[in-house]
A and B are shown apart, each in its own frame.
Chain A
């Protein structure tokens, strides 16, 4: 059941979700500061034209 973002209970549930990722956020923050300009730039994904068209139609049947 997805939290309802319009209720206090739902917002509290989402806050707890964010809290669980606190440690990960710190690690991601550190990684983001490492050798900043070594990150590849430009497009970082390479879908074929067929796959781009497939994504437009949203025909992915995965669960």
Chain B
């Protein structure tokens, strides 16, 4: 087998394995939060989330970052060990998160998180407890000992602390995060 073919085969194996982990996490989360549908992230979901900025209601999107889901989709999609999740209620996309397992697998990071800017929330629940719980179970399976939310909005420090994350600290020398030891 050529080197390229071998690498391709390794990639497919890793993608299949992590996809199986993610699907088990989705199933478990749905069991624990009845009524909520839990899935991965498709490109069309990224389009939907990016369009939330056009809703005629006050939005916190602009000042909390310039990233767009559609731009980040291909980069995360190509990484087998990503964490990805979307929360749905009655067919409505309500929240998304993209994250990443660190190279040696000791940490899982939650990088991008967004919840639908509609109140009352169509999810009927707060999204963050569900996202954080799911990420913790994913981290458990891959053998990580730490779950991080990276670049959390400083104004939301307490919100994350309610989900068992610590206070703000430096992540890997150059970024800010909130850590949860698993």
Chains A and B form a bound pair = yes
A residues with a Cβ closer than 8 A to B are: 1-6, 11, 14, 17-18, 20-21, 24-25, 28-29, 31-34, 36-49, 51-52, 55-56, 58, 60-63
- A42 adjacent to B115 (CB under 8 Å): yes
- A43 neighbours in B (Cβ, 8 Å): 60-61, 64-65, 67, 112-114, 153
The 6 closest A-B pairs by CB, nearest first: A42-B60, A5-B20, A43-B64, A25-B32, A32-B125, A32-B129
B residues with a Cβ closer than 8 A to A are: 17, 20-21, 24, 28, 32-33, 52, 59-61, 64-67, 72, 75, 79, 100, 102-107, 109-121, 123-130, 132-133, 136-137, 140-143, 149-153, 155-156, 159, 162-163, 171-172, 175
- A46 adjacent to B153 (CB under 8 Å): yes
- B32 neighbours in A (Cβ, 8 Å): 25, 28-29
| B-side interface mostly | mixed
Smallest beta-carbon distance A4→chain B, Å: 8
Which single residue of chain A is at the shortest CB-CB distance from B152? A45
- B125 adjacent to A36 (CB under 8 Å): yes
CA–CA, A63 and B65, complex, Å: 26
CA–CA, A63 and B24, complex, Å: 25
- B75 adjacent to A56 (CB under 8 Å): yes
- A52 neighbours in B (Cβ, 8 Å): 65-67, 72
